[in-house]
Amino acid sequence: MEDADVVGLQAYADELRETFMRMQREASDLNAKAQAIRVTEKSGDGLVSATVSVRGELIRLDLDPRLYRRPNARGLADSITDTIRRATAKALEELVELFEPVVPPEQLRAHLEGDLEAVLDQFSGPLPGERRRR
């Protein structure tokens, strides 16, 4: 191994250690903030309002009484589903932003979305300072 490779790997190890130490220091505060994330979204017509937690759990659902003037069960179900989906997506983005100082956003998104291929790709790339083998 060349000196430049050793220096690059040492710098990477130092960066990982600092990131880990910072995560330990900030973990309980970040966890409390993450658990407190609540997002409320309204449907396009404003008749449905849904509040979700960071895990997408439905906390509150409000239906405007004007819905009963034009009964449409399928339309209402679709509106509720879409509103909850958008609220959940926003809650996850808030979580990604919250953890951005300690976890790269693309890495956290891959984990949250269950994208195993993207997670594994992050580990298979070259380390900083490492040269690609030909």
Instruction: Map residue 71 onto helix, strand or coil.
Output: coil
Kindly indicate the confidence band of residue 51, based on its pLDDT and cuts at 50, 70 and 90: very high
Kindly state whether residue 119 falls inside one of the protein's structural domains.
Answer: no
Kindly state whether residue 70 falls inside one of the protein's structural domains.
Answer: yes
- pLDDT value, residue 90: 96
Instruction: Map residue 29 onto helix, strand or coil.
Output: helix
- pLDDT value, residue 134: 47
- 87 in Cβ contact with 41 (< 8 Å): yes
Kindly state whether residue 6 falls inside one of the protein's structural domains.
Answer: no
- pLDDT value, residue 130: 55
Kindly state whether residue 112 falls inside one of the protein's structural domains.
Answer: no
Can you give the residue range of the structural domain that contains 60? 34-103
Kindly state whether residue 48 falls inside one of the protein's structural domains.
Answer: yes
Token representation of residue 109: 């998104």
Mean pLDDT of the chain: 87
Q: Is the pLDDT of residue 86 over 90?
A: yes
Alpha helices in the chain (DSSP H): 3-35, 73-99, 105-112, 116-124
Kindly indicate the confidence band of residue 21, based on its pLDDT and cuts at 50, 70 and 90: confident
Residues 6+ apart with CB under 8 A from 134: none
- pLDDT value, residue 120: 74
Average confidence (pLDDT) over 98-124: 82
- Number of domain units in the chain: 1
In this structure, what CATH number is given to the domain that contains residue 71? Answer: 3.30.1310.10
Residues 26-45: pLDDT tens digits? Answer: 788 888 999 999 999 999 99
